[in-house]
């Protein structure tokens, strides 16, 4: 299972990040900006909530930290809400397994060899059925795992129970306090006679904690796999400052993940999010989409297909020209703000929809955000005395002007697709597979292949992740003949495209 | 008109080219493989032919080299078919000007300053109305120009006449011999008292000639701007061999050109090419598209939109997954070859459609190539005694099997969109503008900014080209506020995206 | 407000109905087949439930029939759940008003004249915010109204409260018994000193009750407006049997309603229904849609646009050819049943998906029905001992085969869009406007215009309904010049198309 | 081959035609309005021209009427251009046969029985390869045929030659004079010892001639099959006036033909027509389509799919609402006339684009007509002294305003798809099959089934035509089970939909 040769490595140390404001040692508060800058698979609290809700309404108010629980084998090295929910969780995990074919395939391939034998992985991610499939895959590949939640709301308690019942040391429950959050992380890493040698992080909090509390641990750690925008950003800053002391793998920017999370996923979730919250009919609606990057492209394609009339705003002339060629009128927001029925932001920018525009929207206009954070719509500007807020449904507010005009604000300007729609397991499967492969690669890499730097996934690994997901579609890949490979100057097994191919 | 700061430069010396077979000093024969490996704006002989044909059927069989012609001002430093066609050509140029807004805008902006003052540009490109607009723009910017044709068939004689009448030293006519071809190039560069300091090349022949005959000229030459795949490939090989003695700009791989030439242009030309040759009805037809890169994506999107049922073959799992998500069945060619009505190759590979597949196609199946060269369909394998060829229209052959089965082969396997459809002026405008900007950049660059290497266009320049074309669509770009630019860490004037953004 | 001249009338007595089994005097049971054969705007119990739920969880178990309630003006001629919910209901009505522009426009136009002055309308429909807007419009036009619910589950209690508070005699609550149901209807019609002269029915129960109990009332009744498939069917049977004693207007088959309910609405609700129940990702999924009528066309278009690969089955060669031309493979179900991820029925037929097919579906296949009734999927055949049913969410069952294969059955085979998605107010607005116009027309028609027959809405009325909804889209209609109208032989005000135009 | 039972007949005597101006006895001149009001498959002179041109440029100026020609069997009962072209024509016919599967299927089915045995068919249609396939099919079914051309320009001379060589009495050539035209028709019908008993007409001229010259012939004639709008209109007028003395079948209004000719065919031909004439790039272009009937729907769908931004104008609120729901801005022409790049008329109306609008269009705007006739664009208004006309290509005029503004007018306002694109054989196949079935039906109908009236094709026959074309798409129709047929109240063999279904 040697995946890469050193010549295929790609250092991304030189990738520049625009947002230089966050410094690693200024920790954002837990609930505030943290959750806002996360990528799609992270803080999807609301989505999982629905599926899990039937077991959540427990009236047991005791803190898990105050309980003594053991699983059926007498093991008590975990801290979760309620071990009795394990059966429910197991069913959720089994259902998720059906849509995560790549991880199941990895398990099969690794039945003989154990590429993670000896690996001690400490993880900090959302704890959901999909994560459980990942964890159990890592174990099947030979690893030992200890795990905490990266978000105080997103844990599916019954899944945590199933994992604990299965012997995993899990420390997480839905509704942790900030103090609980760090306590759980600490329980994962601070154990007599056990030291992690791999980190799987989502948001950088686990990495941060080890840096701060147990810097010596890095001597044994072979690498960090990080998934989130925020976490990756922190790693680049550490690297820049010369403080990164182990190799790190940036899973977030792999092409497979980007295309799925942004273009394909948003194409579906924009419709889903709008329908679930407003029941709006798309046909004939006039919509302005701010930003024509991958997210904007997905939103525009979906709405156009459903019969909406879509306008686009852009700052980048290349994306602007793409919008034109794709059949969208490129406008400035003020040119159409009076006439549109729906306003969607997908820019990653701040203050794209400001009070001035909100004042000029027509009655009933729906305003929502599909972009990077909650800064795109200036929601704060709507908190003025003359405007009345009316919560009409979960995630739906009517903001009412003195003359009776109502603006329909979704998710208070936070990400619509995280708050009001769900993320298909198939998308999460791609991320989880990439994480598993990144762990295997870093753990097995020969000395010297990776320096103390941040690496993008090699194209070949991206291609491998993609290939593991093709059977889901009953898709049959063509293989190059020797003659063709020679003609193209390619290895028959790839990589087939340059690294920058999207 | 300082376009770039040195920090924005991008060396592409490390870009690897798969096709390593062509060496610079093994000149391909003029008619053979040369024209096959050219990009879209190059050898579009057939397309221009139609527009120009009413003036072309001259019965004057005298070689232009044997004629003495002068323009109305008494200038005779040119060699073309017939100076009397100048009026026709001028009208064609005027029509083209209307669809090349970016060059016209450049002329206006440069009315005060002359960024090419002192530039002596020697060019070797297709000589068409669009090229004429470029040449007259370069002159308006201060340059002197001498020009030859890069293709022995593609010259629009009346345009050449208009250029000669306008004072340009043009050496080109439709139907040159190979000897004529090199004679014309030589006449461009070999002139008492005039030495070029800039090269604008399309295919690398001009560059090759100077290398071979007048290597000392490179001392005064500030740079080469090259547009074609072939020419760029040669430059990279020169660079690799340490023989490139001036900076060169790779215009071919700019994002604007790539997206327009491939995705957007092919989306239209696949339909156009098939209709003009076969009048086929697209609705309900089963089509297999081999390759799901940009060209394949464009073909698939168009045919799906017209009601065809489209299958895709791919070797790259990432493109394969994209095909799946875009709604195409991913198959191997042999799974569908018996049932499809149309086969289209877009791979850049060789022997994608071999005799075995051709044998199994159904009666009436249409076979054509939209990819990189004429190698994708193994046309040679059809030249066997038992098969009858019947030319039913220009560019359309019926190949007839002994049992009466007919395959409809288009353009003998050469590029369909070059042979059987036209290239919109708007696309050519993007390329021409990029060429003009590349000349300005190289000519004005401060000492040391560019080494003896091949450079990709900086993102910013791509964005500038795009922005010059937005007015055509009455598209209005949004500008960043100072606050937003700061938040994003961007300069308000761009570049807005990383270089690898597509 | 004279809408029609007698020459424009269309008798539809000759329209044949396939389903001849239901006879008027064999009343279907309330919960059984009744609700199944209803059109979209009828039994959408589930959809309204969500919006209304916050006021529904009342612990008051007293039957409304046993309560004495009065509104704030002391009026007690109604029977509803709880008059105190009136404020909540009023807000819902106000929100609905914003999306029912046509009714609001009718109110304005009728401020001077009162085309329903003297009309005594007895109605039996779903009691929702949208119906309330209709009722208040009828009142504004001069009518008196008494109202009962046509479905024992669909009443929005707070809306009923708001209507009662506003002076309407409403007899309806959520969760009526069968006895309550008929008691409410009786209270509407059986009143000292008040006799209805118009009937607005949805399902035919009110009409049935009057026929059975108060046949003499028909002497004063000027006409019946009926909206549902079932009710219309009953009317045609009465007419056939020579027992229809007043004119009746078939609102169900108007083109506006058909196109909106079927094509445009299903285009959106298929996606919505699938997402809300299964969170399935559409991209790359293989789907078979059984039936390519309007509903099937809408489903196919939406799924294709979202990147699904869609197969179609059909019995009618014309629809089959349309499917081909629209780019769908036309197959028999058994050809694709093993490979598809989703099966959707839209045929109006019975036993389209039988056990044999269900046995051969692959693991995880989703099965649902968008057609006319719950007969399309043979759900009964799944109630066998070897299969396990597991309810995983509301409206979602896993049916598990002995080998572990799971089929995901939605809404137990009932209509997906009624059960699992919502109906946009805009669609209901079209129906309600048509009902209002039909009442006006029948009430004001001169003696003899309408016989004792069932009439389709005249084209002109359809066109009028459509025109009242155009302002929602800021759509501007072009008017014929006198010269053009003469050339086309049309009246400048329509009708513009033959009656059969769809 | 008894196709119909009398209960399935549909009299269309009551269909109203808007355009009441043309009376039968006021014959329009041959070249003037006649050809303009024809449907798509009629006067497609230009399209066939290209394919046939290589044999047409004969320098033989002798009128065919002055030549004595015989075929290889010594038969001379025909009058065509040149019998020597028969081989070329035969090849064209063979190619056409491959795309007319339904007629070939009819030939096979009729090998035993000869449903047209004894039929003497006189025909007047375009004489093309497709017509030849029809004629040879009729002969295979037992009929004798004599044929003339319905258009003086559309005859493919080599096809006529092949027919003559094959023994058909054909009287037609390309470039007939008006006198030739009637002479040819007369030669078809006026023959010693031979009287037609069936008429197949396209435009009504043949019918008119017999009415005028040989009214007694109608005693033996069993029926007329008419294909064109104009011819059908004349028949309805005869019927109205009580002068129709045999049954007539209106082939023009069959659903299969309408959908194919209008929606599906125009979806393709709008792109084809625009590309061939102007090479315009569709992406990003702003287009206004006047009229949203079937033709407009097809044009809009295609242009939207190619990335154009499409506006629609309509007079009919129902079509207007459809345009809105399909995602098009509904505007008045004057609202967008200044900004659009392309104007397309599809209304069937007159003076839709008048001089006032033409004056306000922007430079380079393309204007064309896809509607019913050449009246939609007021081309006459452009024939004023201050405007310059410049013919830049075949079918393309630049109209130049004094300020230099150019409007690009296509086909001088005549039908774009007839003049500038081709009609796929597959579409012609549908029409030809329908004609053949209509002849069979009328010829074999028992006494009394058809009165002296105009009949629409019964639904069942439409369905049969459709079913014969499904194998082309490898489409597999599902068959009703007995139980299902009973449930739906349908015959298992159809008809499956009401007659008005589109």
ipTM: 0.85
pLDDT value for C214: 96
Higher-pLDDT residue of B294 and D382 is: D382
- Considering chain B, what is the average pLDDT of its residues? 86
pLDDT value for C501: 67
* A487–B19 CB contact, under 8 Å: yes
Q: What is the pLDDT along chain D (502 residues), one digit of tens a residue?
A: 444 444 444 444 333 333 333 333 333 333 322 222 222 233 323 333 333 333 444 456 789 999 999 999 999 999 999 999 999 999 889 888 988 989 999 999 877 789 999 999 999 999 999 999 999 999 999 999 999 999 998 899 999 999 999 999 999 999 999 999 999 999 999 999 999 999 999 999 999 999 999 999 999 999 999 998 889 989 999 999 999 999 999 998 888 888 887 889 899 999 999 999 998 999 999 999 999 999 999 999 999 999 999 999 999 999 999 999 999 999 999 999 999 999 999 998 999 999 999 999 999 999 999 987 788 999 999 999 999 999 988 889 999 999 999 999 999 999 898 778 777 888 889 999 999 999 999 999 998 899 999 998 888 889 999 999 999 999 999 999 999 999 888 999 989 887 666 6
Please state the residue numbers annotated as binding site of B. 128, 202, 227, 257, 261, 293-298, 314, 417
The reply, when asked if residue A178 is annotated as ligand binding, is: no
Which of D319, D323, D488 minimises the CB distance to C18? D488
- Considering chain A, what is the average pLDDT of its residues? 86
Chains that touch C (3 or more CB pairs under 8 A): A, B, D
pLDDT value for C186: 97
Residue B4 has pLDDT above 60, yes or no: no
pLDDT value for D288: 98
Listed by start position, the domains of chain A span 66-253+424-457, 263-420
pLDDT value for D370: 94
pLDDT value for A2: 45
> How many CB pairs below 8 A link B and C?
34
Q: What is the pLDDT of residues B415-427, one digit of tens each?
A: 898 778 777 888 8
Strand, helix or coil for residue A450? coil
Which of A307, A363, A473 minimises the CB distance to C98? A363
Q: Cβ-count burial of C386 within 10 angstroms (0-12 exposed, 13-18 middle, 19+ buried)? A: exposed
Residues with Cβ < 8 Å from B456, sequence gap 6 or more?
A: B10, B11, B12, B15, B250, B253, B254, B499
Question: How many angstroms away from the CA of D486 is the closest CA of chain B?
Answer: 32
Distance CA C272, CA C266 (A): 9
Strand, helix or coil for residue D368? strand
Distance CA B479, CA B489 (A): 14
Note the CATH number of domain A66-253+424-457. 3.40.50.1480
| Token output for A335 | 């040119």
* C477–D350 CB contact, under 8 Å: no
| Token output for B188 | 């461009």
Question: How many angstroms away from the CA of D276 is the closest CA of chain C?
Answer: 23
Distance CA D443, CA D464 (A): 18
In this prediction, the residues of chain A whose per-residue pLDDT falls under 70 are 1-60, 499-502
The reply, when asked if residue A294 is annotated as ligand binding, is: yes
- Check residue B66 and report its DSSP letter: G
Higher-pLDDT residue of D293 and B34 is: D293
Locate the DSSP E strands across D295-339.
309-313, 329-330
Q: What is the pLDDT of residues C451-494, one digit of tens each?
A: 999 998 888 889 999 999 999 999 999 999 999 999 888 999 98
Give the neighbor-by-neighbor strand order of the sheet with C248-250.
C169-171, C144-149, C120-125, C198-201, C223-226, C248-250, C454-456
Asked whether this chain's domains D66-253+424-457 and D263-420 adopt the same fold, the reply is: yes
* B306–D421 CB contact, under 8 Å: no
Composition of chain A by helix, strand, coil, percent to 5:
45, 15, 40
> How many CB pairs below 8 A link A and D?
33
- Check residue A117 and report its DSSP letter: T
Q: Search chain B and give the residue with CA nearest D398.
A: B95
pLDDT value for A28: 34
Q: What is the pLDDT of residues A378-406, one digit of tens each?
A: 999 999 999 999 998 888 999 999 999 99
* B51–D98 CB contact, under 8 Å: no
Which of A268, A283, A425 minimises the CB distance to C306? A268
Give the neighbor-by-neighbor strand order of the sheet with D248-250.
D169-171, D144-149, D120-125, D198-201, D223-226, D248-250, D454-456
Q: What is the pLDDT of residues B109-142, one digit of tens each?
A: 877 789 999 999 999 999 999 999 999 999 999 9
pLDDT value for A502: 60
CA D24 vs CA B118, C490, D151, D235, D452: distances in Å: 77, 21, 18, 8, 17
* B317–A480 CB contact, under 8 Å: no
Composition of chain C by helix, strand, coil, percent to 5:
45, 15, 40
Q: Search chain C and give the residue with CA nearest A392.
A: C51
The reply, when asked if residue C327 is annotated as ligand binding, is: no
Which of D318, D322, D466 minimises the CB distance to C317? D466
pLDDT value for D182: 97
| Token output for D143 | 């009929």
Distance CA D149, CA D138 (A): 17
pLDDT value for B80: 97
D14, D17, D456: which is closest to D234 by C-alpha?
A: D17
pLDDT value for C25: 35
> How many CB pairs below 8 A link A and C?
92
Which of D18, D349, D467 minimises the CB distance to C317? D467
C191 DSSP β-pair partners: C194
Answer for the pair D419, D214: CB distance below 8 angstroms, yes or no.
Answer: no
Distance CA A283, CA A341 (A): 11
| Token output for A65 | 């930290």
Within D141-192, residue ranges assigned H as helices are 157-165, 178-189
Place of tokens 């991320």: A431
Which chain B residues have a beta carbon less than 8 Å from that of A330?
470, 473, 475-477
Phi-psi region of C497 (alpha: psi -120 to 50; beta: other; left: phi over 0): beta
Residue C356 has pLDDT above 70, yes or no: yes
Q: Search chain A and give the residue with CA nearest D303.
A: A327
Instruction: Please say whether the structural domain C263-420 has been given the CATH code 3.40.50.720.
Output: yes
Q: Search chain C and give the residue with CA nearest B302.
A: C327
Q: Search chain A and give the residue with CA nearest B18.
A: A489
* A328–D309 CB contact, under 8 Å: yes
Place of tokens 């597991």: C390
Which of D256, D260, D490 minimises the CB distance to C18? D490
Residue C498 has pLDDT above 80, yes or no: no
Which chain A residues have a beta carbon less than 8 Å from that of C282?
268
Phi and psi at B366, nearest 5°, equal -95, 135
Residues with Cβ < 8 Å from D389, sequence gap 6 or more?
A: D382, D397, D398, D399, D400
Containing H/E element for C461? Answer: helix C459-469
Q: Search chain A and give the residue with CA nearest C428.
A: A281
pLDDT value for A154: 86
Which chain A residues have a beta carbon less than 8 Å from that of B473?
321, 324, 330
pLDDT value for B14: 33
């Amino acid at each position: 299972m040697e995946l890469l040769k050193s010549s295929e490595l790609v250092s991304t140390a030189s990738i520049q990040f625009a947002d230089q404001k966050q410094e690693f040692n200024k920790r954002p508060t837990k609930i505030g900006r943290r959750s806002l800058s996360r990528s799609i698979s992270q803080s999807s609290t609301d989505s999982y909530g629905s599926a899990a809700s039937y077991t959540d309404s427990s009236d047991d108010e005791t803190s898990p930290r105050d309980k003594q629980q053991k699983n059926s084998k007498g093991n008590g090295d975990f801290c979760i809400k309620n071990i009795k929910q394990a059966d429910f969780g197991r069913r959720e995990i089994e259902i998720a397994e059906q849509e995560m074919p790549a991880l199941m395939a990895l398990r099969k391939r690794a039945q003989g060899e154990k590429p993670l034998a000896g690996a001690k992985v400490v993880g900090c991610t959302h704890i959901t059925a999909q994560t459980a499939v990942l964890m159990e895959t890592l174990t099947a590949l030979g690893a030992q795992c200890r795990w905490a939640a990266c978000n105080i709301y997103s844990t599916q308690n019954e899944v945590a129970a199933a994992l604990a019942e299965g012997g995993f040391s899990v420390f997480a429950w839905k509704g942790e306090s900030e103090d609980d959050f760090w306590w759980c992380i600490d329980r994962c890493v601070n154990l007599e006679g056990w030291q992690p040698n791999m980190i799987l992080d989502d948001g950088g909090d686990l990495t941060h904690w080890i840096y701060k509390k147990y810097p010596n641990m890095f001597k044994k750690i072979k690498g960090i796999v990080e998934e989130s925008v925020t976490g990756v950003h922190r790693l680049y800053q550490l690297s820049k400052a010369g403080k990164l002391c182990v190799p790190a793998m940036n899973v977030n920017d792999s092409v497979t993940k980007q295309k799925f999370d942004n273009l394909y996923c948003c194409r579906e979730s924009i419709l889903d999010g709008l329908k679930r919250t407003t029941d709006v009919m798309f046909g004939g609606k006039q919509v302005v989409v701010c930003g024509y990057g991958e997210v904007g492209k997905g939103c525009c394609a979906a709405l156009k297909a459903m019969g909406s009339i879509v306008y686009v705003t852009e700052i980048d002339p290349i994306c602007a020209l793409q919008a034109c060629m794709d059949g969208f009128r490129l406008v400035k927001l003020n040119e159409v703000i009076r006439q549109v029925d729906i306003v969607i932001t997908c820019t990653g920018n701040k203050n794209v929809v400001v009070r001035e525009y909100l004042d000029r929207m027509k009655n009933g206009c729906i305003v929502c955000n599909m972009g990077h954070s909650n800064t795109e719509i200036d929601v704060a500007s709507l908190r003025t005395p003359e405007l009345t807020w009316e919560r009409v449904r979960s995630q739906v507010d009517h903001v009412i002007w003195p003359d009776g005009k109502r603006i329909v604000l979704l998710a208070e300007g936070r990400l619509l697709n995280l708050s009001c729609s769900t993320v298909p397991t198939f998308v999460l499967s791609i991320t989880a597979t990439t994480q598993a492969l990144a762990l295997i690669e870093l753990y097995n890499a020969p000395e010297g292949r990776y320096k103390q730097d941040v690496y993008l996934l090699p194209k070949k690994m991206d291609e491998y992740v993609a290939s593991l997901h093709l059977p889901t579609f009953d898709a049959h890949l063509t293989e190059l003949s020797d003659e063709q490979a020679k003609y193209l100057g390619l290895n028959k097994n790839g990589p087939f495209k340059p690294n920058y191919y999207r």
